[in-house]
Amino acid sequence: GNPHGRGAMVFAGGRGQYEGEWVHGQMQGSGAYVEANGERYVGGFFAGERNGRGSYFYDTGDVYTGEYARGLRHGDGRMEYSNGDACEGRWDGGVMTGPATYTYASGEAELSWHHGGAEGEGV
């Protein structure tokens, strides 16, 4: 049968592993997914996709913490880079959009983002 409740699964073909809540065979609720490359997501799931609040830990040392919808960054979030810089703003369908604050490890600059391209002071 399909997993339902709390449990863990290692996916075939080296696609990663999940530990958390299941609803009728789909990742749903809170859980942690570790990708085959070691990157991991900890947070909410709905219908098998990242959804709600969560954190994604990249193999580069960068960390995104914020909102997701349908598996993509969507809503308010903060990206912390391994070099100490950080960017806080809104995402729409995985793309940063609208005003954002980019904080360098050594100071701060205001930026405006339009569909993934930076413009404004400090660029």
15 and 47 belong to one structural domain: yes
Residue 54 falls within a domain, yes or no?
A: yes
Q: For residues 8 and 32, give the distance between their C-alpha atoms in angstroms, rounded to a whole number.
A: 9
Query: Which residues fall within 8 angstroms of residue 51, CB to CB, at 6 or more apart?
Result: 44, 45, 68, 69, 70, 71
Q: Is residue 88 a part of any domain in this protein? A: yes
State how far the Cα of 66 lies from the Cα of 34, in Å rounded to an integer: 18
Q: Domain total for the chain?
A: 2
Do 4 and 55 fall into the same domain? yes
Quote the domain boundaries for residue 46.
1-59
pLDDT in tens, 18-53: 999 999 999 999 999 999 999 999 999 999 999 999
- pTM higher than 0.85 for the full model? yes
Q: What is the mean pLDDT of the chain?
A: 91
